[in-house]
Amino acid sequence: MENEVSKFEIFLLNRYMASELSGGLHLGRKARSVNDPYLIKQLTWHCLEEVRHAMVWQRLIGDLNAPLKNIHDSQGDEYFSHLGEIKDTLDLLVFTHIFELRVPFHFSMHAKWTKNDKIKNVLEKLIPEEKPHLEWIREYLKKEIDNGNEKVKESIEKFLKLEKETYNHDLEKLEKMGVDGESFAKLIKDNLSEFENGKKWWEK
């Protein structure tokens, strides 16, 4: 028997859908402004992937008979509200990569926490799908570093700090969203050091 899905969890699902769609749109827009054929190809594909993910969430929300809502960052304090700080293509790739590094951890926490099998299945299906997204950008950035582009590490430091701050701030907000928000945020906080202390590829 399926457990009833709480309002809090429906909010999370709608927010996932919003961020996949938002990520996809930005990647697609970038694909229209670059001239490097490799980047045109990769960014178009990455756009498709994120929009497809938005549809996966949308179908799940429908399957759960839950309301589909457009979630906006009304307070402007979430990671995606800092898109204005992206100066060029390199920044967009780093911005995306830093966000995507967190996704498997966050989804695995949600999969552990949820009581709903349908939600758990979607989360577990999407975790490995982040891999090729992470891989192509990582390889691209590595090459840039090898070619002497000093901006890469600067950009990584900047967005890493921003992502960490906005994620932690968001956890504080989730904690205040009733008993469900509180228990979800607690599970994440209890496991946060495991993610944050893990060595990142650019530190090796």
Contact 133, 49 (CB under 8 A): yes
CB of 100 to Fe ion, least distance (A): 5
Distance CA 89, CA 30 (A): 7
Total count of residues recorded for the chain: 204
The region of 35-43, 93-101, 112-120, 165-173 touching Fe ion under the rule CB under 5 A is 93-101
Tokens of 20: 């996949």
The region of 12-20, 26-34, 146-154, 183-191 touching Fe ion under the rule CB under 5 A is 12-20
Q: Which is nearer to Fe ion, 9 or 50 (CB)?
A: 50
Q: In degrees rounded to 5, what are phi and psi of residue 71? A: -95, 130
CB of 136 to Fe ion, least distance (A): 11
Rounded to whole angstroms, what are the CA distances from 162 to 47, 48, 166? 23, 26, 6
Tell whether residue 53 is a contact of Fe ion (CB under 5 A).
yes
Tell whether residue 133 is a contact of Fe ion (CB under 5 A).
yes
Instruction: Name the site residues for Fe ion (rule: CB under 5 A).
Output: 20, 50, 53, 100, 130, 133
